[in-house]
Amino acid sequence: MRTFGALLLKEEKAIFTSPIAYVVLSVFLVIMGYTFTLTLFVSHVPTLVHLFFQIYVLFLLTVPIITMRLVAEERRLRTIEVLLTAPVSEALVVFAKYLASLSLVLLMLVLSGAYAITLGILGRPDWGPIYSGYLGLFLLGAALVAVGLMTSSLVSNQIIAALLSLSLFLLLWIIDQFGWMLSDPFDALAVNLSLLVHFTPFATGSIFLSDVGFFLSIALLALFLSVRALARR
Partner 1 sequence: MSARSVRLLFEAALFLVALGLGAAAFDLVDHTVADALYFGAWCAAMLLIFSLALRLPLHLRGRLAYLANPGIVGAALGLALLANIALYRHDAHFDATVSGRFTPPPELETIARSLQDDVVLTYFYNSKDDYAYGAKQVLEVVARRHSHLTVRVLDLDTELVAARDYRVKLYNTVVVEAEGRRTQIENTVDLRQMAYAIERPAAARPDGLLCHRAWRTLRSRPCAFQSRGDLGCWRAGRLGRTGSAAKRARSAQAGDRDHRRQ
Q: How far is the CB of 180 from partner 1 (least distance, A)?
A: 10
Whole-number Å distance between alpha carbons of 192 and 190: 5
Q: Does residue 81 touch partner 1 according to CB under 8 A? A: no
Q: Which of 9, 38, 126, 182 binds partner 1 (CB under 8 A)?
A: 126
Q: How far is the CB of 94 from partner 1 (least distance, A)?
A: 10
Torsion of CA 56, 215, 24, 66, to 10 degrees: -150
Q: How far is the CB of 24 from partner 1 (least distance, A)?
A: 29
Q: Which of 26/206 has CB closer to partner 1?
A: 206
Could you give the count of Cα atoms lying within 13 Å of 101 in the half-sphere of its Cβ?
29
Whole-number Å distance between alpha carbons of 60 and 128: 24
Identity of the amino acid at 38: L
Instruction: Measure Cα distances from 72 to 14, 37, 120 in Å.
Output: 14, 38, 42
Q: Does residue 213 touch partner 1 according to CB under 8 A? A: yes
Residues lying near partner 1 in the complex (CB under 8 A) are found at 1, 90-91, 126, 128-129, 131-132, 192, 204-210, 212-214, 216-218, 220-221, 223-225, 227-228, 231
